[in-house]
Amino acid sequence: MRKLLVSVLLAVAALYANCALALDSSRPPVVVTPLVSRTTTASGQPITLPQKNVQVLVSTYDIAPGATLPVHRHPFPRYAYVEAGTLKVTNVETGNSNTYKAGDFIIEMIGQWHQATNIGDGPVKLLVIDQVEQGAKNTELRQ
């Protein structure tokens, strides 16, 4: 499981390195900039991974200015990199909120009801990585 995630991250790093070399050969061949190192989610939970048949899903989200996502939760780990905009995420169970801006990395809470609102003037753009049990969905809407 971890080998799969490491392989995906190395492949992405290699792609970016090749693109950087094509644009500027005076730069070092690979530049690694650590963004985050955490063992807990945004709400302080330990990060736990699916126990069987792990599937990695990668997607992008574009959230319009002023848009609010419905109250939802994630049964499995979800990670998001904020490419643009400002997003406020509120845990509706505790009332605690976090605000994320371009360049931030989000380790979403697991199994806790929350919602997110674009509080900026422009769209929020997210690169989202889910780790789920194969075939499972990672978003449950509150009824």
Strand partners, 59: 128
pLDDT, one tens digit per residue, over 102-114 is 999 999 999 999 9
- CATH class of the domain comprising 37-141: mainly beta
Band (pLDDT 50/70/90 cuts) for residue 23 is: low
What lies within 8 Å, CB to CB, of 105 at 6+ separation is 35, 36, 79, 80, 81, 82
Q: What is the residue extent of each domain of the chain?
A: 1-33, 37-141
- Taking the whole predicted model, whether its pTM rises above 0.95 is answered as no
Closest listed residue to residue 6, CA positions, set 111, 106, 14: 14
pLDDT, one tens digit per residue, over 108-139 is 999 999 999 999 999 999 999 999 999 999 99
SS3 per-residue string spanning 51-95:
CCCEEEEEEEEEECCCCECCCEECCCCEEEEEEECEEEEEECCCC
